[in-house]
């Protein structure tokens, strides 16, 4: 994994901070099974943050039900995501990672139903949720 991120930890540190599933997804580019993640059908107001470093990544306003089995967003918070070409599994996709720690989030596709045309397909294991603060 690249070391140019502001948050950098050894693999031992990551293992001690994350559950086995979170580590597998965030640090080893794993994918959780569809329809199993805590945030797939989650629609409260707030922000979805990187599980590795707590950087805000997605607003609940950009979340939609894509029916794909993973949390889906039509955009990320500006500057929060880095994009990488992923040629694994015999296809070309665009991997999305946290720009602060390099944690794998999932992939982005050009088949979203909103004006952006994007579908950020994210693993629940790679995010946490921060409810909107009432004023």
Which residues touch 51 (CB under 8 Å, ≥6 apart)?
18, 22, 26, 103, 125, 126, 127, 128
- Whether residue 1 lies inside any domain: the answer is no
Structural domain span for residue 104: 11-131
Euclidean distance between CA atoms 42 and 46, whole angstroms:
11
pTM, rounded to two decimals:
0.93
Cα separations in angstroms, 101 against 52, 76, 93:
7, 16, 21
How many CB atoms within 10 Å of residue 112? 20
What's the structural domain count of the chain?
1
| Paired residues of 47 in beta bridges | 59, 130
Euclidean distance between CA atoms 116 and 11, whole angstroms:
36
Please confirm, yes or no, whether 98 is among the known catalytic residues.
no
pLDDT in tens, the chain (135 residues): 456 899 999 999 999 999 999 999 999 999 999 999 999 999 999 999 999 999 999 999 999 999 999 999 999 999 999 999 999 888 899 999 999 999 999 999 999 999 999 999 999 999 999 999 877
CATH number at residue 73: 2.170.150.20
- Whether residue 117 lies inside any domain: the answer is yes
């Amino acid at each position: 994994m690249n070391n140019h991120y502001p948050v950098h930890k050894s693999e031992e540190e990551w293992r001690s901070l994350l559950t086995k599933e979170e580590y597998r997804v965030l640090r080893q580019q794993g994918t959780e099974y569809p329809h199993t993640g805590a945030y797939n059908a989650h629609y409260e107001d707030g922000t979805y943050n990187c599980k590795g470093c707590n950087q805000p990544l997605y607003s609940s306003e950009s979340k939609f039900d894509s029916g794909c089995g993973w949390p889906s967003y039509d955009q990320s918070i500006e500057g929060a995501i880095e994009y990488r070409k992923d040629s694994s599994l015999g296809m070309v996709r665009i991997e999305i990672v946290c720009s602060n720690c390099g944690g794998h989030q999932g992939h982005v596709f050009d088949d979203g139903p909103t004006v952006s045309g994007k579908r950020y397909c994210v693993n629940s294991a790679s995010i946490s949720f921060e409810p909107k603060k009432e004023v």
